[in-house]
Structure 1
């Protein structure tokens, strides 16, 4: 009887051990599946964040990745066409430039560009850049970004901090003179802005040194304020020198620092 009882207890213990092992295996399987889902979710989240950053910050103007994403039909999930009904009092009125043509020079540490701004097609943008130039705002600032893609060649300048960030206290709109075909010919001078925001223009601008396609976002295209009338080879030479080591192969800081000596308009 005692032996029979011991055998029964031993059999019960073995059954309990087997059930415990099965439970452990089930829990491990669940954990593996959960971990796999989380890993995939983290990857998707990282991709979405990357796309949102690329598509919403044109104090970073559009990158080649953004161009490819746009061609694939991707759009900004939360783009806002306009964040303001109007401009603050520190933004010059478009009437100060309407109907006028301003000419002058953009002197870089590597050479001088002849500049012409069109106050007829882009009066608000022309008024802003004429005002900033008259205040010597650009003297000493850098051209912090260069793109060297096959169909994406721009030099971007005018960030007060020198890193592409904008000034929250100096934003304006609306968009003006945006190309219907998303093509910006060589020599174009256009306004950098926050992605998806027609009132996200600031102090930054970009010089197109070869024919470039920039897809419009939720707000539209980028305001073309003028053109380079001479010295575009200064920018093509900067581009030919390439990018700073460690940056993206086609988008980053110029290999040699580019600074603005002066920007004058009359």
Structure 2
């Protein structure tokens, strides 16, 4: 599946949260996790944070994230894009913004006909990165540093950091170089998730 770099939408000028990949090979999950799964992310530096996932807003998105986490997909993968005042983006096995998991998932947001997802992109909210194609998200996700409500309705928000947001904030302390969009966003030292586990 062809994949490219991070941003190419109307949100580019505001710093869109997008890898480029085509909306092909869309996977559908029959089993949706019940309740609010809690994800614990242990970082290589020994710090951690927890995210609560909300299938009532984005059931396929949550099912996909849980499945990837439970198979160990995210273990050893880092955050490749960290933008002050916007978000931290990770989940790309290539670490470039061009990679992802084998399958894409349907885009569960209003502009793609999924009006039940009213979860707003506020500080700490977790959402899926994608390309311009609505059904192109796979494994890359981002965590909002500040309110980014201009993404509402166009990206599948599906959870929120409930503990350890200070760990995510500390990503900003690492020196970053400019990416292809001119953002000071590429960490010079890897920010790696040692393990990502789920408690259902």
Aligned length: 184
**Distance in 1 separating the partners of 2:61 and 2:67:** 10
Tell me which of 188, 192, 203 is aligned to 2:139: 203
Shift of the 229–87 alpha-carbon distance from structure 1 to 2, 3 Å rule, reads: same
What stretches of structure 1 of length at least 5 have no aligned partner? Answer: 1-55, 71-81
**Distance in 2 separating the partners of 1:103 and 1:226:** 9
Partners of 2:26 and 2:103 within 8 A in 1: no
Shift of the 112–167 alpha-carbon distance from structure 1 to 2, 3 Å rule, reads: closer
Matching of residue 160 in structure 1 with residue 76 in structure 2? no
Bigger Rg, which one: 1
Aligned to 2:68: 132
Question: 1:249 offset after TM fit, Å?
Answer: 6.3
Aligned to 2:41: 106
Partners of 1:187 and 1:232 within 8 A in 2: yes
Deviations 1:65-94 (A, max 9, x none): 713599xxxxxxxxxxx956x834xx533x
Aligned to 2:82: 146
Higher strand proportion, which one? 2
Shift of the 126–65 alpha-carbon distance from structure 1 to 2, 3 Å rule, reads: closer
Output the TM-score relative to the length of structure 2: 0.77
Matching of residue 170 in structure 1 with residue 103 in structure 2? yes
Map 1:1-266; keep pairs closer than 5 Å: 60=6, 66-68=12-14, 83=23, 87-88=26-27, 91-93=28-30, 95-97=31-33, 99-110=34-45, 111-148=47-84, 152-167=85-100, 169-176=102-109, 178-179=117-118, 184-195=121-132, 197-215=133-151, 220-244=153-177, 246-247=178-179, 250-266=183-199
Partners of 1:107 and 1:263 within 8 A in 2: yes
Shift of the 63–146 alpha-carbon distance from structure 1 to 2, 3 Å rule, reads: farther
Q: Which has the higher contact order (CA 8 A, sep 6+)?
A: 2
Shift of the 256–137 alpha-carbon distance from structure 1 to 2, 3 Å rule, reads: same
| RMSD (Å) for aligned C-alpha atoms | 3.2
Deviations 1:9-64 (A, max 9, x none): xxxxxxxxxxxxxxxxxxxxxxxxxxxxxxxxxxxxxxxxxxxxxxx96x625799
Partners of 1:178 and 1:222 within 8 A in 2: no
**Distance in 2 separating the partners of 1:256 and 1:69:** 22
Output the TM-score relative to the length of structure 1: 0.60
What stretches of structure 2 of length at least 5 have no aligned partner? Answer: 17-21, 110-115
**Distance in 1 separating the partners of 2:66 and 2:195:** 13
Shift of the 212–174 alpha-carbon distance from structure 1 to 2, 3 Å rule, reads: closer
Higher helix proportion, which one? 1
